[in-house]
Structure 1
Amino acid sequence: MSIKTRLLLSYIAMTVIPVILFVLVALGLYSVFLKNADGSGNQVFWKTTNERGDLVAGIKFMARTDPDRFADLKFLTSTDEQLKRLQVGLVVTKNQQITYASSLVDEKDLYQKLQETQVEPSEHDWGKGKWNNRFAVQKFDIGFADSSSGEVYLLTDMRPLLAGFRKLFPLLLLSLIIVIGLTNGILTFLMSRNLIRPLYALKHAAVQIKEGDLSHEVNLQRKDEIGELGAAFEEMRFRLNESIHLQLQYEENRKELISSISHDLKTPITGIKACVEGIQDGIAEGEKREKYIEMIAKKTDDMDRLIDELLLFSKLDLKRLPFHLEQVDLAAYMRDCAEELRLDPRLEGVAVGFSSNAGGPVQVVADREKLRRVIMNIIDNSLKYLDKADKKMRLELFDGASEATVKITDNGAGIEKESLPYVFDRFYRAEPSRNTDTGGSGIGLAIVKQMVEGQGGKVWAESQAGEGTSIYFTLPKTSHGGERS
């Protein structure tokens, strides 16, 4: 449920619930305060009202059917006693003279005051009015048997009822204030707790993040706007934690990179230094001196090649090396590569084969220069481990629905199963020693991985120790080209 809906329901409840509670409280107070309003002390209000109504109806009926009864003093006295018990006074007039007046309304100039009272017609009786701010007046006109006219007045004393209302009204007002205050207070507390508690949880998580602790999960388990905020906050925490761990990993990798570079550069420098010292000390003379100079040149070339590879790998790792992607017929490209490799002096004595399952062109999107570097790095890596008399390499192309796969296989020493997952990691060498004469720089296959992935493909290796290694990479078959950085 959304916060907007919650607030709307809360506002409705703050209106409806106080009204219902106030009505219930008012009814309770009404029954409590008015049950003794007639002063008898032993009759409830509604019973008294019913009895009064019955007596008034009886008098009204007598006034219409037997008006001469109101000339009978005994009848009037008996009726008056019943009426006084109900706080009602009886007054009878005949020919503009009072013939009977209840002690309840014993007043001077009573007839004149009654005549001055405005009695409005009513469909339920012969007339009703109010006199002296005390009595509710009902008037019934009657005609006696001797053709004289008269009136019957019933005067209901309203003071006990008004006294009850005077006590009841402040309590009703107080009850209304209490009901509104309690209802709104409770609903406000529930709503605020429903909103504030998750906000405190978010605040606590924010404080933990500020202090560098990203281990506390934010799980509000809500489906409203605050729940969405909590989910976004949790995603931020997760990504921030992931980013920090990634930065720490990068830092560790940088340290490892510096250590590896230092080791790989120190090896040729040590050789160069030894050769220079031998020449300076006069130890190397004649052919030996020429051999030392050739060794210095070779070590210098190794250093230059290592530095170039490090710069290339650095650009690839930082995504700063652009890829000029274009449509390439991979079948023709691989066939040309196989022909060039057969003529390469470094592969003298190595049988290079090529095959393709495609009957025609295989169009892929690739960077020609980067693709050649990928193939040559794989070939160079394989050359270091060709340990058999009959040396073989084979290039194979497999045409797929959405991508083409290149497989380069050698029959060299192979790679141990436990080393296979790491051959594309930088500065990893399958052999335990770090001999650059056989192991290379350690970043050739790492560059292959970066370049293949930069062209939208993937790379992996399969090998069996003692039998050889196969390196696979894929390239996407799409119809658009362009520059990718």
Structure 2
Amino acid sequence: MSIKTRLLLSYIAMIIVPVVLFGLTASTLASVFFGEQARFGNEGGRSPIWNMFNERSEVFAGVKFMAQHDPDRLLDQSLLTSVDRQLVPLKSALVLVKDGRVAFASESIQKTEVERLLQGSLGSEKKRWIGQDGYAIESVDLTFSDSSAGTAYFLFDPKPWFATGRYFVLSMVLSLLVIIGLTNGVLTYLVSRSIIKPLHALKRVAEDIKEGNLERSFRLNRKDELGELGDAFEEMRGRLHDSIHRQLQYEESRKELIASISHDLKTPITGIQACVQAMRDGIADTEAKREKYVKMIGIKSEQMDRLIDELFLYSRLDEKKLPFHWEELDVAAFLKEFVEELRLDPRMEYIRVSCSSEGHMPSLLVMADREKLARVFMNVIDNSLKHLDKPEKNIRTWLSFDSEMVTISIEDNGSGIDPQALPYIFDRFYRVDPSRNAATGGSGLGLAIVKQIVEGHGGTVAATSQLGVGTVLQIALPRLSSKEGNEHEAHPDH
């Protein structure tokens, strides 16, 4: 439920709930103050004011009945005294006037009020007020048996009714205020709590992010706008965490690179310095020794140049600043040419290199940068040479293809790679054996460069290995077209 809907429902509830509660409260108060089923425990289960009203009405009704049917009985003083005793506790009084003179007046009414009553004129009215105490008057005209005229005045004190009415109105007002206050207070608390609580949680998350604490995940588990905000905070936290983690990894890798390059550069520099110092000290006192030291200086310089070249190449690849020169390339022909050149490498003197593309192969076209693809194969071969440890050393290449991809596989029978290290061999600066120097181990960028170049071609690279048996590295490139033959796999020559 959205916050807008929640607030709208709370506003509706703030109107409807008080109205319903006030209606129930008003009904209850009316029953308590005026109803017949008041809970006072008095006789008949009625409120006192209700009992007083009923009893007084009964007495007045009896007197009126006699006044209409047998008015002469009202001249009986004992009867009137008896009626008066009933009227006193009911805050009421009776005055009987015959021929303009008071024939009877209740003892509870003052003489001055009786005089004011006689001096006044009711006219056609049946009720009016007299006296400081505000008696209400109701009169009934009489005609006695001797044809004389008279009037019976019924007086009653309305103050109990007014007092009860004031209490009732006051109770209604207080009840209304309490109902509105409680209802609005409870609803406001519930709605504000449902909003403020997640806001506090968001504040804590923001403070954690400000302090750099990005490890604790955050979920509001709500379907409203705050839930969406919480999800955005969590996504931001996750991205910041991943970004900082990658940055820390990059910094760590950069430190490893600096340490590795420093170490690998220092080794040939130290060798060069040693050769120069030996020549300065006259140790190289023959032409053969001088030639040996100069050759050593050249080898060390080549190692330095290769390290710097790999670092520069990977840096440009990583920053996407190295341009690719695309051309249609027949992979089978390219691989055959590469293997033929490889066999001429002095390092391959005692290594058997085979290629399935030496026989008949279909034309397998890819869009590639010839120079960079050659760099890929050379880096893979260089990596294989470092691990060839058997008397009979073999490097085999073959092609496989389907309608979409062309896969070049390069296999060696070297020492293999530990399964725990295999997932990381394409990571930058990673070395299976960190103790290797520049002459044997390289900078740790060779296979990382392979991955960057292959992915720049829209392809993939993967490796499988078995300790003590060897390693197979597979490079898959998108195929442009297939001009002859069905899909098949060309197996390596033996």
TM range, smaller chain: 0.7 to 0.9
Answering whether residue 381 of structure 2 is matched by residue 379 of structure 1, we say yes
1:227 alignment partner AA: G
Q: Using a 3 Å threshold, how does the CA distance of structure 1 residues 228 and 102 change in structure 2: closer, same or farther? A: farther
2:122 is matched with 114
Deviation at residue 412 of structure 1 after TM alignment? 4.0
Cα contact 2:416–2:469 (8 A) shared by 1: yes
2:399 is matched with 396
Q: Using a 3 Å threshold, how does the CA distance of structure 1 residues 146 and 229 change in structure 2: closer, same or farther? A: farther
| Residue 341 of structure 1, aligned match among 339, 342, 347 | 339
* RMSD (Å), alpha carbons: 4.4
Q: Using a 3 Å threshold, how does the CA distance of structure 1 residues 171 and 442 change in structure 2: closer, same or farther? A: closer
Which deviates more from structure 2 when the two are superposed, residues 24-33 or residues 403-412?
Answer: 24-33
2:11 is matched with 11
Deviation at residue 141 of structure 1 after TM alignment? 8.1
Cα contact 1:10–1:187 (8 A) shared by 2: yes
Please report the TM-score for the alignment, with normalisation by the length of structure 2.
0.74
Residue by residue over 1:388-414, the C-alpha shift from the partner in whole angstroms, topping out at 9 and shown as x without a partner, is 54644213223266x443322234444
Counterparts of 2:165 and 2:469, CA distance in 1: 110
Counterparts of 1:364 and 1:79, CA distance in 2: 127
Matched positions, count: 457
Counterparts of 1:371 and 1:354, CA distance in 2: 18
Counterparts of 1:166 and 1:407, CA distance in 2: 103
Deviation at residue 377 of structure 1 after TM alignment? 1.8
SS of 1:439's partner is coil
1:405 is matched with 407
Q: Using a 3 Å threshold, how does the CA distance of structure 1 residues 212 and 101 change in structure 2: closer, same or farther? A: farther
SS of 1:276's partner is helix
Which deviates more from structure 2 when the two are superposed, residues 106-115 or residues 463-472?
Answer: 106-115
Q: Superposed, which structure 2 residues align to 1:308-323 within 5 Å?
A: 308-322=309-323
Q: Using a 3 Å threshold, how does the CA distance of structure 1 residues 21 and 343 change in structure 2: closer, same or farther? A: closer
1:125 is matched with none
Please report the TM-score for the alignment, with normalisation by the length of structure 1.
0.75
Counterparts of 2:406 and 2:55, CA distance in 1: 106
Deviation at residue 312 of structure 1 after TM alignment? 1.1
Deviation at residue 318 of structure 1 after TM alignment? 3.5
Q: Superposed, which structure 2 residues align to 1:243-262 within 5 Å?
A: 243-262=243-262
Q: Using a 3 Å threshold, how does the CA distance of structure 1 residues 421 and 73 change in structure 2: closer, same or farther? A: closer
2:463 is matched with 461
1:225 is matched with 225
Counterparts of 1:190 and 1:164, CA distance in 2: 38
Q: Using a 3 Å threshold, how does the CA distance of structure 1 residues 161 and 312 change in structure 2: closer, same or farther? A: same
2:281 is matched with 281
Unpaired runs of 5+ in structure 2?
37-41, 482-494
Deviation at residue 2 of structure 1 after TM alignment? 3.0
Q: Using a 3 Å threshold, how does the CA distance of structure 1 residues 135 and 113 change in structure 2: closer, same or farther? A: farther
Cα contact 1:335–1:354 (8 A) shared by 2: no
- Identity of matched residues, %: 51
Which deviates more from structure 2 when the two are superposed, residues 360-369 or residues 437-446?
Answer: 360-369
Cα contact 1:89–1:156 (8 A) shared by 2: yes
| Residue 473 of structure 1, aligned match among 475, 483, 487 | 475
Deviation at residue 380 of structure 1 after TM alignment? 3.1
Q: Using a 3 Å threshold, how does the CA distance of structure 1 residues 177 and 292 change in structure 2: closer, same or farther? A: same
Counterparts of 2:321 and 2:152, CA distance in 1: 115
Cα contact 1:338–1:395 (8 A) shared by 2: no
Cα contact 1:14–1:187 (8 A) shared by 2: yes
Residue by residue over 1:449-474, the C-alpha shift from the partner in whole angstroms, topping out at 9 and shown as x without a partner, is 22223444332212234443210133
Cα contact 2:117–2:130 (8 A) shared by 1: no
Q: Using a 3 Å threshold, how does the CA distance of structure 1 residues 359 and 396 change in structure 2: closer, same or farther? A: closer
Deviation at residue 5 of structure 1 after TM alignment? 3.2
Counterparts of 2:59 and 2:478, CA distance in 1: 107
Cα contact 1:87–1:157 (8 A) shared by 2: yes
2:279 alignment partner AA: I
SS of 2:213's partner is coil
Deviation at residue 448 of structure 1 after TM alignment? 0.7
Deviation at residue 161 of structure 1 after TM alignment? 0.6
Counterparts of 1:207 and 1:467, CA distance in 2: 55
2:301 is matched with 300
2:288 alignment partner AA: E
Counterparts of 1:149 and 1:475, CA distance in 2: 132
Q: Using a 3 Å threshold, how does the CA distance of structure 1 residues 138 and 205 change in structure 2: closer, same or farther? A: same
Counterparts of 2:354 and 2:169, CA distance in 1: 110
1:468 alignment partner AA: G
Q: Superposed, which structure 2 residues align to 1:18-29 within 5 Å?
A: 18-23=18-23, 26=26
Which deviates more from structure 2 when the two are superposed, residues 24-33 or residues 410-419?
Answer: 24-33
2:264 is matched with 264
Counterparts of 2:333 and 2:145, CA distance in 1: 143
Cα contact 1:416–1:465 (8 A) shared by 2: yes
Residue by residue over 1:242-288, the C-alpha shift from the partner in whole angstroms, topping out at 9 and shown as x without a partner, is 33333222222111111100111112212222222233333333233
Counterparts of 1:300 and 1:114, CA distance in 2: 137
Cα contact 2:116–2:130 (8 A) shared by 1: no
SS of 1:113's partner is coil
